[in-house]
Structure 1
Amino acid sequence: MQVQTQLSWSERIAATIIQQCDGDGYHAFPSGRWAYVEGMTLMAMARTGQHYGKQEYVDFMKKHMDLYIQPDGSIGTYTLEEYNLDQINQGKNLFALLDGAEDRRYAEAAHLLAAQLAGQPRTSEGGFWHKKIYPFQMWLDGLYMSSPFLSEYAKTFHHPELWDEVAHQILLIERQTRDPRTGLLYHGWDESKEQVWADSSTGCSPHFWSRAMGWYAMAIVDSVEHFPVNHPKRGTIIGIFERMCHALVRVQEQESGLWFQVLDQGFRKGNYLEASGSSMFVYALAKGVRLRYLEPHFRAAAEKGWQGLSSRLVEETADGVRLNGICHGAGLSLDRDGSYNYYVSEAVVSDSFMGVAPLLLAALEMERLP
């Protein structure tokens, strides 16, 4: 079945994903385990369905969530005691399932994930460790995994003190990772300064990775969306977000409108225009403009970024929408030193949901702009 080209971009991307399902409507990717990219994919599909009134896409999310949520609210393949922030992300889909739910399993699952965050290991200033196995480390990625979930949980279950927690996490990592010269944020911070990748004086990793900043930018717009307008830290968060977006626009590649894998290194040998980070920035800029967190002039950067994605990295084939130029994965550990050569030597792939899910989110946000 060929995807109809007269549909919006988000509908075409969503239709491509549906086309990949088996005869029972299950997709191999989000059917395997409870995990962060899987959760983002389901969320992007449900948002597209909600916006365009396509129940099939909302049902796609529920069908795959129900593979994991047990009758008692426990979560298949999830272990709380790992204290892994990545494992919170898929829980964002639970809130959309609460309305009209006849049983309490979705609420119980949300409470379980909130319990993980209540006991999450912390730095001396209260910052969440990225994972139990990464002591005293905060990564920008973790803010996207946990903060929007906790913010919506605070609103849904009437725990206003949790907005203070979300604000603390967002502001703490920005303070620890921001480079005052460029305004960009380093990928990770090790309070103990023991990791091989950590600067001996600051504890920061050595480079500005596009997807890490993309995670953080999305974390802010998705978290603040649920804050009460009179929260005392709301304006500060919006202020640091706009300051960061100025820095991102400064490193946006002017001809293509895209962003580099290592943000400030331009066309240095090995560097390339990367799809997932670029999609995340388009999403955050567009949503920031729509919700008035950003001045209207940032719309031009979002539009330029979207034009670059759709004309340079996206292909339309008989099988639907394809996306090229995606960094397969990157992290920080003994064998992942955060060097320039490390980031540019990671595999570059096509059609990974690490890029496709942010692309779908970005497409939908561009379509929602007034």
Structure 2
Amino acid sequence: MSMRWIQALYDPGFPLPEDPSFFKKTLKDISHFGVSSQVYYLLKEQGKLNQTPVYFQERLKEKYDEALYLNLFIKSELGKILNRFEKLEVEAIPLKGVIFAEKYFGHIGARGTSDIDLLIRPDQLEKVIECIISLGFTVKEEQIPSHFHCSLSKKLPGSQIPLTVELHWDLLKVNSSSLNINEFWEKATPMQPYRYIKEFSDDHTFYMICLHGWRHNMDSLKYFLDIIQMIYLLKDRLDYEILLSDARNHKTLKRMVRTLTIVYEENPYLQDVRKLPVRRLSLWEYNAFKESSQKSLKNYLDFFDYQFFSYDTVKHNLREIVSWLKFINIYHSKKVK
């Protein structure tokens, strides 16, 4: 099954398929990837929701309402954290989440989320952790030296799933690129009504969203919808020449081109919205992420390409290979014990 139906979420002139079996298969995909909120909101915005079967509408509405209530709660918790940061003069930039949903999808319920992601200054990490702990969160896991984030969580009344705050001090693993996170801080602007809480520029938000999708090898529809939504919203304001030039300087060009190639190959109509000036060979396949039993040699080659050849320099490739071998060794050691 292709992703072509996503075009109907954005293009008023693109009709929804009439085949009843299409909606059953699509609903299964939507539920599997957890994008009911996005699909419901976008169909409603296009005036196409009533063109779908009643059971389809009801299921999407049910999931949309769940996501909306959770997002409202998360926004309240985020507000408490940001207000505390502001008092302590701690700089932070919310990543993705409810802020992203409101700014780029147009409504707090239009994109479901389950946690809070914040970019913080590395030299303020301990201060931030103390602040988050004072609000009832506890450290969830040990910090891994080469990683660029850590998380804290808080149990919620009546829920088995805790609320997690993930603290980032970078966008990529150490020594995997030449990206200088200070460039992103310098172009960030205060998020009203705060002074110390900032937000990325549109270009840097798109950059971050693409890297996030790459990090997961685009294994979910939610990464596609985030990128496609920004392409449709920003259109000509999205300057690919600058984006790719920055990626070349940051040594993330292969990651950026790989991600955007996959998005455009699966959604070719995007060329009419914002033309992508460069592509690379893609072995990525949609069905491989829906059914693991459908994986073929091509899918394993794609994973190999993603894992070891997404890097711009030989040095970064070798580091990833060494890191992977260490991981395999540790995994087998634990299995033996």
TM-score, scaled relative to structure 1: 0.34
Larger radius of gyration: 2
Structure with more helix by fraction: 2
TM-score computed with the length of structure 2 as normaliser:
0.36
